[in-house]
Chains A and B, each alone.
With several copies, the nearest count.
Chain A
Amino acid sequence: MIKKLRTPSEALAEMPSGATVMIGGFLGVGTPETLIEEMLRKDTKDLTLIGNDTGFPDRGIGRLIVAKRAKKVLASHVGTNPETGRQMHAGETEVVLVPQGTLAEQVRAGGAGLGGVLTPTGVGTIVEEGKQKITVNGREFLLEVALQADYALIKAHKADELGNLVYRRATRNFNPLMAMAAKTVVAEVEEIVPVGELDPDEIITPGLFVTYLVKRGRKDE
């Protein structure tokens, strides 16, 4: 069997500065904190981060913002992390605010090989600026293009050794979508079980999307 289990530093060893990185979670719930820990330890910078929000200064994606690792952020909400707003207003970090449902579809489209989707969300607001408007059956939609990334750092509850993933409760959020949309997908999990222990019907993310598995809380020696 092709072994996917790695330490955090092995899993992220090849992540370059300037990379585009999707990070799962919703206000830190379902965010791979062990992988963020490792990113903080490394000197990777000038990142483009894509996530639902920028968490809190001490939790979730917010820690990378505070450490000034991002040159650009795409998120639906940054209100719970004042440092994001400060960097945005000071012109230190580019922040692109995207409606949450649009961001979800853009990431999904990136993973699904679609060029983009037509959404009614944002029509008649500043979100439509610079975007193509397309009328279908007399209704206006915005063309929102697909997003892809170099890395997706995701958090799941359980994995089997092939990387098949299941999520728990509200931690699922963007994780299964991001798992589809990046070249290298690193999944941080609570528990790894033998192949065959997960029922094929309960698996949310098939292992074929997952490059590496990292055990949550695992430290490099």
Chain B
Amino acid sequence: MSKDIARERIARRIAHELQDGMVVNLGIGLPTWVANFLPSGSEVLLQSENGFVGLGPAPLPGQEDPDVTNAGGQPVTIVPGGACFDSAMSFAIIRGGHVDVTVLGALEVDEEGNLANWMVPGKMVPGMGGAMDLTVGARRVIVAMEHTAKGKPKILKKCTLPLTARQQVDLIVTELAVIEVTPQGLVLKEIAPDTTVAEVVAQTEATLIINSIKIMEV
């Protein structure tokens, strides 16, 4: 499966988790794609941690406003009813539990719902930006990531990289599976139509609890 098809599938599946009236923060990269798969007329309210709520689609070429960018620095728009604020208010919204769902990428996730996505010691240290606050503060944390990296599992028994947050992940969506984090461990809820439970288990280092399984809508 091409990377783009995998990513589109993940974003499309996560869009089903978002309902009208929810306040949602989409991380940079793959999570941003989720917005493209919301039904038209959707009333999901997107929060942009650089300082506003009511994040709208990219502007038409030539209509960019340099003062209106998303947390990745790209030109965006603000929908009618949007509101701007400073960084203290932005993170009061995030940390204070006023964001219903955050969708974040990950380098590693583990059986306890631990998440690592901000540094690889000695290699890549971009900084956590808003990710630690989002993971701790949002009511529901959905990880959007490809199931493996260069063939190696990313869903582990225990994260090896420095954590972004401890025990905060609620749901993991990959191109192969939808996995829920529960106090008992990781529960495999859905698998993609073009895979098998055995393949998902093979590509996952963590133990998966398997009861009833649905086929993922892709």
Q: Inside 8 A of B66's CB, which chain A residues have their CB?
A: 29
Known: A101-B94, A125-B162. A175 touches B86 (CB 8 A): yes
Instruction: Output the least CB separation between B66 and chain A (Å).
Output: 7
Q: Are B129 and A114 in contact (CB under 8 A)?
A: no
Which parts of A60-90 form the interface with B (CB within 8 Å)?
75-80, 85, 88-89
**What 1/0 flags go to A161-186 for Cβ under 8 Å of B?**
11010011111111111001000000
Q: Are B128 and A26 in contact (CB under 8 A)?
A: no
**Once bound together, how far apart are the Cα atoms of A200 and B81, in whole Å?**
7
**Once bound together, how far apart are the Cα atoms of A101 and B73, in whole Å?**
18
Q: Are A208 and B93 in contact (CB under 8 A)?
A: yes
**Once bound together, how far apart are the Cα atoms of A169 and B87, in whole Å?**
12
A134 interfacial contact with B, CB 8 Å: no
Q: Inside 8 A of A28's CB, which chain B residues have their CB?
A: 73
Q: Are B88 and A77 in contact (CB under 8 A)?
A: no
B68, B84, B127, B131: most-surrounded residue (chain A CB, <10 A) = B127
Q: Are A85 and B125 in contact (CB under 8 A)?
A: yes
Q: Are A123 and B126 in contact (CB under 8 A)?
A: no
Which parts of B106-146 form the interface with A (CB within 8 Å)?
114, 122, 124-133, 136-137
Partner of A80, one of B73, B131, B137: B73
**What 1/0 flags go to B69-97 for Cβ under 8 Å of A?**
10111000010111111111011111111
Q: Are A164 and B83 in contact (CB under 8 A)?
A: yes
**Once bound together, how far apart are the Cα atoms of A101 and B88, in whole Å?**
7
**Once bound together, how far apart are the Cα atoms of A108 and B85, in whole Å?**
14
Known: A176-B86, A200-B82, A200-B84. A29 touches B125 (CB 8 A): no
Chain A interface residue count, Cβ-Cβ cutoff 8 angstroms:
70
Instruction: Output the least CB separation between A145 and chain B (Å).
Output: 15
Q: Inside 8 A of B103's CB, which chain A residues have their CB?
A: none
Q: Are A100 and B86 in contact (CB under 8 A)?
A: no
Q: Inside 8 A of B38's CB, which chain A residues have their CB?
A: none
B98 interfacial contact with A, CB 8 Å: yes
Q: Are B95 and A2 in contact (CB under 8 A)?
A: no
A36 interfacial contact with B, CB 8 Å: no
Partner of B125, one of A78, A122, A175: A78
Instruction: Output the least CB separation between A175 and chain B (Å).
Output: 7
Instruction: Output the least CB separation between A37 and chain B (Å).
Output: 17
Per CB-CB distance, the 3 closest pairs between chain A and chain B, nearest first, are A79-B126, A101-B91, A124-B166
Q: Which residues of B contact A (CB under 8 A)?
A: 20-21, 23, 43, 45, 47-54, 65-69, 71-73, 78, 80-88, 90-98, 114, 122, 124-133, 136-137, 162-167
- 23 pairs, A vs B, C-beta closer than 8 Å: A26-B69, A75-B127, A76-B128, A85-B125, A97-B127, A97-B128, A99-B132, A100-B130, A101-B87, A101-B95, A101-B130, A101-B133, A104-B86, A104-B91, A112-B95, A113-B136, A120-B137, A123-B136, A161-B81, A164-B81, A176-B86, A177-B87, A200-B78
